[in-house]
Structure 1
Amino acid sequence: MTVLLALDSSTEVMAIALSSPAGEFHFEAEGGPQASVRLLPETQALLAQAGLRLGDVDAIAFGRGPGAFTGLRAACAVVQGLAFGVGKPVLAIDSLMLVAEDARQQAAAQGQALSGLVWVAMDARMGEIYAAAFRVPAPTGPLLEVQPAALYKPAALAELLDAQTEDFALAGSALALFAEALAAPEGGRPRRVWPQTHSRARALAALARQAWAQGGAMDAALAMPVYVRDKVAQTTQERLDARAAQATAGRP
């Protein structure tokens, strides 16, 4: 059986997954600034739990983005170092597709089927959203990208969603943060929503297997994060202006 190791730190949750003959092993913990420190020791601990060494792994997958700038760089750097060290290929995993896969797994666990078009909307900070659309077969089968990842203002994404001509589901952290902006229009068709991720590690493992089966393995030298945004932080004045605007909006 193929042994696949997968790491993702594109969000505030750090996820590691290992598919092996002994079963599937998962680890999740706080990510963010902790990811660069914890990814390597936690990966080694997960391998030890499965009774494996890094050299037993056939390929190493990583969440390529879009997502947190520092987290993406941390995962890519760790995966490249590990892959170069044992001469193994890598697998690039779309971090937004991971959320769509998790929604499908949540639906299956509830005895439901999630299929068709799924839009993923993730908080990108600075009042913006990372979004992409995927075609999801149920209950199994590879997910297909329909709309590539892009960066949107909430109003722009809402306009795009309202213009869709087919039913779709929504998943991702932006649904709670921008609930009013992304709600279905009055009188419109109801949307199935999955605002919270259940297990990024389990979804990561599934997508790693999918990438391997589709021949997605590549040389570690080609492993690069995907940055949808060029600007990764606001200036002090921009933060002050944003707070002032929020305060003004909250006044009666």
Structure 2
Amino acid sequence: MSTLLALDASSSACSCALWHEGEVVSRFALTPREHTRRLMPMIDDVLAEAGLVLADLDALAYGRGPGSFTGLRIAAGVAQGLAFGLDRPLIGVSTLEALALAVHRERHVRFVVPALDARMGEIYVAAYHCRDGRLTPLLDEAVMPPARLALPEAHREADWCGVGSGWALWASMPVEVQSALYQRLPDLDPAAESMVRLAAEAFARGEGRPPHEAVPVYLRNEVAWKKPGPGA
């Protein structure tokens, strides 16, 4: 079986996870602005716990986004550097998909709307149908004001679970969305533990890519908020 390492720094949390022979060893910490300092010790910890070294890895993965611009670059850069040095393929994993898988595994929910606070009055959002650990996208990843969110028409009557920091903007969401949700988990952050599971499946499907193709997914073209000028 394959051995993979996944890294994530897409939010205020920093995490690392190792997949080896179907088992996962992980580290997770809420460390705002300390991702660069914390990632490498986490990598050393999970490898040591599993009794492995970097050369034992078959592939590496990283949280490709959406999420914090700086954090995405940190995780992608570290994963890319290791993949280059080891001559291993690289796999980018959606932070929204990882959130959906985490809440599906932990709470057995089937319809999940992961949303992250994108700042500037917007959210990053998607929707998934989850069954037996498999995720089917129902809404493509997008960035939008929370007031524009609409659930998939064909599944309006489903029991939806909202997960991620974007649900802190609950009050700005349409009444139709609010009434469709039976549960909100705004404090759950993306984590490498879920990402490494998704990456192992992607690797088995032959989806590993050369390290130079590591590209974070921002969803938003304008990455910096500009203060309005006088009279704006």
- Shorter-normalised TM-score: what interval? 0.7 to 0.9
Q: What secondary structure does 1:72 align onto?
A: helix
Question: 1:155-191, CA deviations, whole angstroms, 9 ceiling, x for partnerless residues?
Answer: 112xx2396634233222111x212223754994453
Q: Quick check: 2:93–2:198 contact (8 Å CA) kept in 1?
A: yes
| Whole-angstrom CA distance in 2 between matches of 1:183 and 1:14 | 32
Whichever of the two has the greater Rg, that structure is 1
3-state SS of 2:216 partner = coil
The unaligned stretches of length 5 or more in structure 2 are none
Distance 1:76 1:199 in 2: 15
User: For residue 109 of structure 2, what is the amino acid of its counterpart?
Assistant: L
Q: Mean alpha-carbon deviation: is it higher for 67-76 or for 46-55?
A: 46-55
Paired positions, count: 229
Cα 1:208–1:165 shift into 2, 3 Å: same
After TM superposition, the structure 1 = structure 2 runs for residues 72-83 of structure 1, keeping only pairs within 5 Å, are 72-83=72-83
2:164 partner amino acid:
G
**Structure 2 counterpart of 1:161:** 151
In structure 2, how many angstroms separate the alpha carbons of the residues matched to 1:220 and 1:49?
A: 26
TM-score (ref. length: structure 2): 0.87
Contact persistence 1:32–1:71 (CA under 8 A): no
Q: Does 1:95 align with 2:95?
A: yes
Q: Return the structure number with greater relative CO, CA threshold 8 A, min gap 6.
A: 2
Q: Tell me the amino acid that sits aligned with residue 106 of structure 1.
A: E
Structure 1 or 2: larger strand share?
2
Runs (4+) of structure 1 exceeding 6 A deviation are none
TM-score, length-scaled by structure 1? 0.81
Instruction: Give the letter for the 1:95 counterpart.
Output: T
Partner residue, 2:222: 231
- Structure 1: any 5+ residue segments left out of the alignment? 108-112, 242-252
Query: Paired residue for 2:69?
Result: 69
Conserved? CA contact 2:130–2:136, under 8 Å: yes
Q: Following TM superposition, by how much is the alpha carbon of 1:233 offset from its aligned partner in structure 2, in angstroms?
A: 2.9
Q: Distance in 1 between matches of 2:220 and 2:214?
A: 18
Secondary structure at the aligned position of 2:199 is classed as helix
* Distance of 2:33 and 2:161 partners within structure 1: 32
Q: Which residue of 1 aligns with 2:109?
A: 114
Alpha-carbon offset, residue 149 of structure 1: 1.2
2:162 alignment partner, one of 170, 175, 178: 170
Question: How far apart are the structure 2 equivalents of 1:52 and 1:178?
Answer: 42
Cα distance in 1 between the residues matched to 2:122 and 2:74? 23
Describe the superposition over 1:188-213 as per-residue Cα deviations: whole angstroms up to 9, x where unpaired. Answer: 44533333327723322322222223
Shift of the 185–36 alpha-carbon distance from structure 1 to 2, 3 Å rule, reads: same
The secondary structure found in structure 1 opposite 2:61 is strand
- Structure 1 counterpart SS, 2:27: strand
Partner of 2:128: 134
**Alpha carbon RMSD of aligned pairs, Å?**
2.7
